[in-house]
């Protein structure tokens, strides 16, 4: 996960990629440490596209956006974030 305004990057180990695991990591790790984001941007991974994450975003007032899957030149890619 990245916080582009502050250039924060953080990886969290997970036992799987289920939506429930992603939701738990977001709320317990990211939101607790860095606060509620205004937007979550993903590459349309299954764990980010289901009803659970949709409801989580609605509950916290988070805008959800996405890019083309497996497209490294997307507007929010890690390489783009590191450009001066």
> Per the confidence metrics, is the pTM higher than 0.75?
no
Superfamily for the 2-81 domain: Ribonuclease H-like superfamily/Ribonuclease H (3.30.420.10)
Q: Is the CB of residue 2 less than 8 Å from the CB of residue 9?
A: yes
Strands 2-3 vs 63-66: parallel, antiparallel or unpaired? unpaired
pLDDT above 50 (res 52): yes
pLDDT in tens, 12-36: 888 998 999 989 999 999 888 888 9
User: 1: closest CA among 18, 33, 15, 16?
Assistant: 33
């Amino acid at each position: 996960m990245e916080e582009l305004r502050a250039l924060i990057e953080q990886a969290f180990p997970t036992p799987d990629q289920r939506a429930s695991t992603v939701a738990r990591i977001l709320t317990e790790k990211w939101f607790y440490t860095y606060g509620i984001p205004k937007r979550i941007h993903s590459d349309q991974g299954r764990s980010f596209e289901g009803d659970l994450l949709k409801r989580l975003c609605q509950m916290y007032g988070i805008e959800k956006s996405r890019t083309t899957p497996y497209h490294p030149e997307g507007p929010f890619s890690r390489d783009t974030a590191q450009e001066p």
